[in-house]
């Protein structure tokens, strides 16, 4: 193998069609049970599950393979408490004065409000940051910005990978986006080139946890098939 060659041979295990169908069906069935959970049990979760899920997220495709993401996992009770206090301060202002009536009406069936106790109860709070630009060190020791491409799209794909991996591991999640989220940089000591993207409390659901009675659009409403592959 020529080490100077910038390409390598793809490692790909082509499965028998029946096995592909089996795996596809199992994954679809498992993901169909995924729900946004707001009531968590404080029960401990092996950190290995979180690590593996983030490892999956880190394998996501990204613009020019720049991987413009960073994942911070908060398990320290004091840090989670600070996140909750700051998030509730912003969310209270949102619900009481910032949100337009249309958005409040859309949220009403979900039963949400500014209280975010799940930020303390869930054993882990994963905060995903998007790197708005990279930073490299010049020969003179100064920091130089590096432009990143398709940052939001890349991080969105990685978050999708992360949620799927956590669900497949038997964990429950919530996607939380308090606005604004700049307080997370301060609490979690992240640099200015990183911007909070989403907060994901993760753990086991509380016994008897209830979720809104919601449905998903049927396949025929979200799929358009044009022709048949050979």
Residue range 144-161, pLDDT digits in tens: 999 999 999 999 999 999
What's the pLDDT at 11? 94
Contacts of 2 (CB under 8 A, 6+ apart): none
* Residue 31 and residue 166 in contact, taking contact as beta carbons nearer than 8 Å: no
- Prediction pTM value: 0.94
Assigned token pair, 132? 């708005």
Tell me which residues of the chain have a pLDDT lower than 70.
1
**Domain architecture of the chain: domains with CATH:** 36-206 (3.40.109.10)
* Residue 155 and residue 130 in contact, taking contact as beta carbons nearer than 8 Å: yes
């Amino acid at each position: 193998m020529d080490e100077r060659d910038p390409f390598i041979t793809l490692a790909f295990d082509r499965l028998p069609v029946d096995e592909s169908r089996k795996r596809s069906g199992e994954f679809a069935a498992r993901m169909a049970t995924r729900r946004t959970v707001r009531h968590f049990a404080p029960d401990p979760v092996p950190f290995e599950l979180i690590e593996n899920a983030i490892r999956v997220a880190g394998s996501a495709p990204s613009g020019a393979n720049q991987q413009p993401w960073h994942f911070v996992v908060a398990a320290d009770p004091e840090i989670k408490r600070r996140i909750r206090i700051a998030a509730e301060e912003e969310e209270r202002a949102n619900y009481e004065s910032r949100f337009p009536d249309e958005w409040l009406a859309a949220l009403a069936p979900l039963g949400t409000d500014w209280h975010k106790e799940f930020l303390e109860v869930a054993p882990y709070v994963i905060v995903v940051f998007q790197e708005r630009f990279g930073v490299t060190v010049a020969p003179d020791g100064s920091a130089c910005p590096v432009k990143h491409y398709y940052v939001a799209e890349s991080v969105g794909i990685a978050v999708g990978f992360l949620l799927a991996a956590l669900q497949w591991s038997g964990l429950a999640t919530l996607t939380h986006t308090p606005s604004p989220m700049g307080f997370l940089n301060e609490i979690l000591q992240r640099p200015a080139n990183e911007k909070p993207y989403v907060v994901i409390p993760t753990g086991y659901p509380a016994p008897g946890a209830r979720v809104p009675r919601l449905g998903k659009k049927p396949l025929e409403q979200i799929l358009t098939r044009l022709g048949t592959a050979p």
